[in-house]
Structure 1
Amino acid sequence: MYRSPPTMKRLLQHDPELKQVFQMSSMQLQTLLAIPKQRADAFYKHLQQASPEQTYKHLHAQRIQPLTLFDEHYPLLLKTIYDPPYVLYTKGDVHLLATKMLAIVGARKPTSYAHAALRMCIPMLAKHQVTIVSGLARGVDRFAHELSLEYGTGTVAVVGSGFQHVYPPEHVSLFRTLAKKHLVVSEYPPMVSPQKWHFPMRNRIISGLALGVLLIEARERSGSLITADQALEQGREVMAIPGPITSRESVGTNHLIQQGAHLVRQAEDIFFACPQLSNE
């Protein structure tokens, strides 16, 4: 389970408005943050490259709106998790962050069953104006975003890299559509390329934004199960669509149900498990 590094907490305790940090020397940064000299030197160099005003103008030119943990528009549910990101980089309609959200995650290589299950659930979710959160990954994530677009409900993609490095690369067109008409979110600055360890960190934001998490097809060691664990830790409702006992893609979801996750047989079961999502 990812935990935020303590360096930002130390910095904010010493300099809550982040004004003094730009006048600190590399040695002062090293002492204050308790980090190696090489990291302190790199941090100092980065701070001297551009002022906050220049950085904000650069982001604005790319139509990127940063939200800090202290901004009024920062999503309230995300603030309640153990380690909320200090900064969210957003591109698109930030008002979606104030809507009721359901996270949908699942297999990267799903069967046709997963697509059919989503097509059964999303029209009802759209009827209740539920925003669908997912991770822009291959498979179930992509299905969730595309069907949200098809049925006219909001969708938010939480990505594991900066906006200049869309991953997977074949989802560039979908990324652009979501960034224009819906919303893409990342805790990484635009120039940061994807790293393997970013994605478990990203998953805590997917579950943290939502009232509940729905899993559709997951293998025994699926990354989606990490999202389910994080959701439980965050106090979110966890739901799963059962699958054939002969399918490897259903081992994880069936096990979740066995452990107490809400079983979803039809769209109405989602609202039974998580009544806050309903308009009624």
Structure 2
Amino acid sequence: MKEGIMMTKNELLLKLHLAAGIGLKGELRLAALLAQLPDNFDLAHLSVERLANFAHLKGAARHRFCVDFTGDTLQQQVQRHQHEAQWVTILDAVYPVQLKEIYQPPSVLFYQGNLQCLQRPLVTFVGARQATDYSRRIINALVPELCKREFGVVSGLAAGADSMAHLAALHAQGSTIAVIGTGLDQVYPRQHQSLQMRIGQVGLVLSEFPLGTPPNRYNFPQRNRILAGLCQALCVTEARHRSGSLITANQALNENRNVLAVPGPVDAPLSVGCNELIQAGAKPLLTVADLLTEIQDFTL
């Protein structure tokens, strides 16, 4: 193993994703290299040193990567994920095309459920964790109409608006995708254990984080770029000033996605963020027709 890489391209990407010291930029540099290599290329020619060179690793990061990549601990992690997790890489045909377009897409996605959920046009819902019945009414009006038209509903399995969107899609017997900020074997928040399990059975749960990854705070801003990148349109139902939902909405705007926001009373704290988005140019989401107008080119 120290002299060369005896594995497939996808297995190599998985190992790189789990390795210390390389980072997402390094993973994507090597993924681009692997995409250019013919399928019959002998990966044994790629020594650990050459991998580090192609990934542009230097100093402490390079040393950490080279030590970890040739160690037994990483090999045990790889074997665990090969036996206990399902995963796709950016080299797979089933990897969502729209996600490849974003800045720094995940090189590996772990999943539970039906990957066919990725093959339909998608609408992402985000909003406050303390979402009120206002969000629930809006979501319950929009989601069944989307499901009727074979759109998939994407959200982040958080409390509030996220869970409302998932539950509305499940109730409408539609397709829903949960993008989580932990490993697939973790649940956050804990009260959504049954919801996550149900989505994994009839929909799709996605994560770029390895098994065992806890709900670290910094995971969620990283996760949000996937919520923004997967969809054709992103809807914000309620959001405070400078909330995480606004960060996700701005990521969606940067990726040229349609962003809609539900307006609310100017003195309602949970509507401040949505009103600010509209003031900045997001389309007001008043009726189902407003959303369908934005996504009509994606209907199946």
**Shorter-chain TM band:** 0.7 to 0.9
Shift of 1:223: 0.3
Other-structure match for 1:34: 57
Q: Does 1:71 pair with 2:95?
A: no
After TM superposition, the structure 1 = structure 2 runs for residues 255-274 of structure 1, keeping only pairs within 5 Å, are: 255-274=276-295
Q: Does 1:8 pair with 2:30?
A: no
Q: Does 1:45 pair with 2:68?
A: yes
**Which residue identity does 2:57 align to in structure 1?**
A
Measure, in 1, the Cα distance between the counterparts of 2:287 and 2:268. Answer: 20
Tell me, yes or no, if the aligned pair for 1:104 and 1:216 is still in contact at 8 Å.
Answer: yes
1:116 to 130, 133, 137: 137
Q: Which string of whole-angstrom CA distances, capped at 9 and with x for unpartnered residues, describes residues 214-272 of structure 1?
A: 00000011100011101111010001111122210000001111111111111121011
Q: Does 1:184 pair with 2:205?
A: yes
Shift of 1:123: 1.4
Measure, in 2, the Cα distance between the counterparts of 1:236 and 1:255. Answer: 18
Other-structure match for 1:59: 81
Measure, in 1, the Cα distance between the counterparts of 2:43 and 2:160. Answer: 44
Indicate how the Cα distance of structure 1 residues 21 and 102 shifts in structure 2: closer, same or farther if over 3 A, else same.
Answer: farther
Other-structure match for 2:262: 241
Measure, in 2, the Cα distance between the counterparts of 1:224 and 1:41. Answer: 35
Measure, in 2, the Cα distance between the counterparts of 1:81 and 1:31. Answer: 22
Indicate how the Cα distance of structure 1 residues 59 and 221 shifts in structure 2: closer, same or farther if over 3 A, else same.
Answer: same
Q: Does 1:221 pair with 2:242?
A: yes
Q: Which string of whole-angstrom CA distances, capped at 9 and with x for unpartnered residues, describes residues 102-153 of structure 1?
A: 0000011011111111111111111111100000111000100011100111
How many pairs align? Answer: 273
1:103 to 120, 124, 145: 124
Q: Percent identity among equivalent residues?
A: 34
Measure, in 1, the Cα distance between the counterparts of 2:193 and 2:241. Answer: 29
Shift of 1:38: 6.7
Indicate how the Cα distance of structure 1 residues 21 and 112 shifts in structure 2: closer, same or farther if over 3 A, else same.
Answer: farther
Measure, in 1, the Cα distance between the counterparts of 2:97 and 2:268. Answer: 38
Question: TM-score scaled to structure 2, two decimals?
Answer: 0.82
Measure, in 2, the Cα distance between the counterparts of 1:110 and 1:166. Answer: 20
Indicate how the Cα distance of structure 1 residues 268 and 52 shifts in structure 2: closer, same or farther if over 3 A, else same.
Answer: farther
Tell me, yes or no, if the aligned pair for 2:151 and 2:175 is still in contact at 8 Å.
Answer: yes
Tell me, yes or no, if the aligned pair for 1:11 and 1:33 is still in contact at 8 Å.
Answer: no
Shift of 1:73: 0.4
Other-structure match for 2:4: none
Q: Secondary structure at the match of 1:274?
A: helix
Measure, in 2, the Cα distance between the counterparts of 1:176 and 1:120. Answer: 25
Shift of 1:76: 0.7
1:131 to 123, 135, 152: 152
* Structure 2 unmatched runs, 5+: 1-22
Indicate how the Cα distance of structure 1 residues 50 and 15 shifts in structure 2: closer, same or farther if over 3 A, else same.
Answer: farther
Measure, in 1, the Cα distance between the counterparts of 2:126 and 2:135. Answer: 11
Other-structure match for 1:156: 177
Q: Which string of whole-angstrom CA distances, capped at 9 and with x for unpartnered residues, describes residues 19-77 of structure 1?
A: 3598536x984896434437733663355337879936x43543x32111110000011
Indicate how the Cα distance of structure 1 residues 253 and 189 shifts in structure 2: closer, same or farther if over 3 A, else same.
Answer: same
Other-structure match for 2:5: none
Tell me, yes or no, if the aligned pair for 1:30 and 1:37 is still in contact at 8 Å.
Answer: no
**Which residue identity does 1:139 align to in structure 2?**
G
Tell me, yes or no, if the aligned pair for 2:24 and 2:106 is still in contact at 8 Å.
Answer: no
Measure, in 2, the Cα distance between the counterparts of 1:117 and 1:13. Answer: 42
RMSD: 2.8
Indicate how the Cα distance of structure 1 residues 183 and 9 shifts in structure 2: closer, same or farther if over 3 A, else same.
Answer: closer
Measure, in 2, the Cα distance between the counterparts of 1:183 and 1:21. Answer: 37
